[in-house]
Structure 1
């Protein structure tokens, strides 16, 4: 019997059933919960040890005298007082100390930025005799404690008649901040593509104008970050300022030692002055926070 067209037609292929949907919601295991809890605890401990002393310092600066030495101290004082701040401003030359610290920190930051930026640009873009020795010297500068530089630096400044004045403190602080500034700016300069400067040279700009008009505007993030580091290092420095600064030319960190005498330790005044010294650093950090966050990674990636 001849086969018909229907017999020759292929049988309809039934579609295979779709695979079961893969669920992504897996039950959270005990190991994952323990890992998350461990991270939370570690972060809480870091915040506690970082913020705890600062919080205690601020609260102690407004705590009455009878609560500073009680056997069972409490975190929050029962009453708030401003006697310690009155003692700092009325019984001392706090405004002069802060003015000295501000002048020294600003001048140190400006000098470190100018010299460190040009030095970082030079060692990044040019090859010259002594380049490796310069880089090695900058790295070795932080291998030894700063106290080893105190005696030779004091003798050098004393021979120049700079001991006892603010210029001597500025020079001492520049010796601390300049190596760090140079290294930081070197990494930021290396992150700027060299082709941009070469294009500026082709257009007729020299090395100096090319640096000022092309490279320097691209370094504003690095400049802000480096300026903050230099300012904080100079603002909080105690060792060099305590030896070189004398008389009316002492900075605020050094002036705190004046509240410690052989008969009494004015803990309330020390806490109040410490709180006031911390305020400019905190304000500077919040002002430059966005530059600081970008600057931490800007110099680590070469363009």
Structure 2
């Protein structure tokens, strides 16, 4: 029996290792290939027997990307993503708290609309959203892109923050109310500090959704106000596809998301109500 159990445990361990290796390969493999292709010389991009490690290294693709206005694209993307994230967090947290802690007419309808909003593709919003922004004179500017991105991120942030607020014990707020701080004081002094894990997670999702969004930005953005994904699409023309430049720009677009993840990672590791058990 011990030998059979040992054999089964070894087989299970080997199976888990193989499964984990496959997951890592399919998750990391494309990223490694993207980075390697961004520094390959042009004659190595279309080899019949390509290798992961390029035999030569060039910075020509990065020079081409920066020469085509990438810094401007990145600045636009950062402004739009940061504004979208901050507004989504503020409104989503307030809305999530309201639907969790209070009962009011239309509450169930609001919750149903939050869920139903993601059953339909974003392209259905494109025409009415464009007409509204055009009537307000916001087409072509960064404010219009932020408003367009809020239609995508705000339902998600509200739903996520609702679940995080539900995990905060109501007794903590009631104890603060007894001390006379009121609803707003209880939220700001008690609930909000305990939501730092949820805020970090929600901010990550909102930032990525806005940073990578292409469809709405490609229609709303004009001139010098295009974002990085829209600028990347400009590298594909009727006569040529600048694969090296696309790989270089894709690598640069990935860096802010990775940096943001590592900055917020420590908040993921903390318990939601860790602050409530400290003396």
Normalised by the length of structure 1, the TM-score is: 0.87
1:82 CA drift (Å): 0.7
Bigger shift: residues 117-126 or 201-210? 201-210
Q: Deviations over 1:89-108 (max 9, x none)?
A: 12x11111000000000000
> Which secondary structure does the structure 2 equivalent of 1:265 belong to?
coil
Which stretch of structure 1 is more off in the superposition, 145-154 or 277-286?
Answer: 145-154
Cα deviation digits, residues 4-50 of structure 1 (max 9, x gap): xxxxxxxxxxxxxxxxxxxx965545443333222222211111111
**How do 1:118-267 residues align onto structure 2 when only pairs under 5 Å count?**
118-267=94-243
| Gap change, CA 1:25 and 1:287, over 3 Å in 2 | farther
The 2-side partners of 1:272 and 1:293 are apart by: 32
For structure 1, the 5+ residue unaligned runs are 1-23
Shift of 1:62: 0.5
2:223 counterpart SS class: coil
Structure 2 residue aligned with 1:113: 89
CA RMSD of aligned residues (A): 1.8
Secondary structure of the structure 1 residue equivalent to 2:225:
coil
**What is residue 49 of structure 1 aligned with on the other side?**
26
**Which residue pairs with 1:38 in the alignment?**
15
- Find out whether 1:268 has 2:244 as its counterpart: yes
Q: State the shift of 1:87 in Å.
A: 1.0
Unaligned residue ranges in structure 2 (runs of 5+) = 274-279
Deviation at 1:206, TM superposition (A): 1.4
Calculate the TM-score normalised by the size of structure 2: 0.94
Q: Equivalent residue of 1:81, what SS?
A: coil
CA distance in 2, matches of 1:235, 1:163: 19
Query: Deviation at 1:239?
Result: 0.7
Q: Post-superposition shift, 1:184?
A: 0.9
Q: 2:73 aligned with 1:73, yes or no?
A: no
2:258 to 282, 297, 303: 282
Larger radius of gyration: 1
